[in-house]
Amino acid sequence: MSTDLQHPQHSFQQFLKDCSRLGLLRLVVTNDTAVLEVRSPLEKVFYAELPKGRYANMHSDDFEFHLNMDQVATIRFEEGQAKRGNFTTYAIRFLDGNDKSVLSAFLQWGNPGEYANGQVEAWYALQEQYGRQWHPIVEAV
């Protein structure tokens, strides 16, 4: 399995499209003052180029999501232990140039530790396809 590779055949945009196979996710954005979490599949993503960078966007009735893809230096797959409960968590971390998480996408469960059919397998398949850690390439939008 590859680690710390750049996959020129896989763009950031393609990766986000492939993430739709993961089903329900918990998207977590954290800064020094607040944490925002929302449960949603990563789908119907659209793109815009603005003066500050190229953005991946997603809208729903409950929230809007905007990710400056140019600020994401590394994408990393991580398995962990749940903070509450005895089960494995599966996350994709979007890291900036200082290796700081700007977005985490966790597989979301119905009941703690009970993932949807095929969800964990889809996470492993994405990790196999892209590598445990990789540096995304943003296509023109």
User: What residues contact 121, with CB distance under 8 A and at least 6 apart?
Assistant: none
Residues 123 and 105: their CA atoms lie apart, in Å, by 11
Instruction: Kindly list the domain boundaries of the chain, sorted by start residue.
Output: 12-134
Instruction: For the chain, give the percent of residues with pLDDT over 90.
Output: 79
Provide the pLDDT for residue 42. Answer: 93
User: What residues contact 5, with CB distance under 8 A and at least 6 apart?
Assistant: 131, 133, 134, 135
Rg over alpha carbons for the chain, rounded to the nearest Å, is 15
Residue found by looking up tokens 């925002």 in the block: 36
Provide the pLDDT for residue 67. Answer: 96
Q: Which CATH superfamily is domain 12-134 in?
A: HemS/ChuS/ChuX like domains (3.40.1570.10)
3 state DSSP class of 9: coil
Provide the pLDDT for residue 118. Answer: 96
Residue-wise pLDDT for 13-50, tens only, equals: 999 999 999 999 999 999 889 999 999 999 999 999 99
Read off the tokens for 26: 């918990």
Say if strands 133-134 and 101-107 run parallel, antiparallel, or are unpaired. Answer: unpaired
User: What residues contact 59, with CB distance under 8 A and at least 6 apart?
Assistant: 44, 65
Buried residues in 87-109 as b, exposed as e (16+ CB within 10 A): eebbbbbbbeeeeebbbbbbbbb
Entry pTM? 0.90
Provide the pLDDT for residue 1. Answer: 42
Q: Residue type at 111?
A: N
Provide the pLDDT for residue 112. Answer: 82
Provide the pLDDT for residue 6. Answer: 52
8 has pLDDT over 60: no
2 has pLDDT over 50: no
Provide the pLDDT for residue 5. Answer: 52
